[in-house]
Structure 1
Amino acid sequence: MASECAGKSSWPELLETQGEVAAATIERENPLVTAIIVLEGSLVSGDFLCTRVWVWVNKSGIVTRVPTIG
């Protein structure tokens, strides 16, 4: 589904970086999306949106999953 969305859709290089830095990088590299920082274990909406990137972080604020559009 991500291939249907405009712009960059995945950021594997941000794995294990600080969540705030990752979110800023994502929004700079694809201004069509909003990066939302989410603590691991939190519940989020299951719907797919080309305008959203979940940035999953641990309690230390480190990205734990590759951020992708969705």
Structure 2
Amino acid sequence: MASTCEQVEQGKISWPELVGETGESAADVIENENRLVHTRIILEGTLINRLYICDRVLVWVNNKGITVRTPTIG
């Protein structure tokens, strides 16, 4: 049986097309395209723990709520 990480990574793992979209819209698209992941919208410049979490996607946004980095699993 595949591990949770292996199952998650069989789906889509990055979303470069979402840069420039609102963070909330990007999060909705990500969770619809890979139902095994959970998104977190993070304000650019926020310090976070850089642990790799295979079912998490960080959506980095600027102060206007616009996605500024390619969301990827981790």
TM-score computed with the length of structure 2 as normaliser: 0.86
Task: Give the TM-score, by structure 1 length.
Answer: 0.91
Unaligned runs of 5+ in 2: 1-5
Percent sequence identity is 55
Equivalent AA in structure 1 for residue 61 of structure 2:
V
Q: Does the 8 Å contact 1:6/1:32 carry over to 2?
A: no
Equivalenced residue count is: 67
Q: Which amino acid aligns with 1:38?
A: I
Unpaired segments of 5 or more residues in structure 1?
A: none
State which of 21, 25, 50 in structure 2 corresponds to 1:21. Answer: 25
The structure with more radius of gyration: 2
Displaced runs of 4+ in structure 1, greater than 3 A?
Answer: none
CA distance in 2, matches of 1:65, 1:16: 9
Equivalent position of 1:58 in the other structure: 62
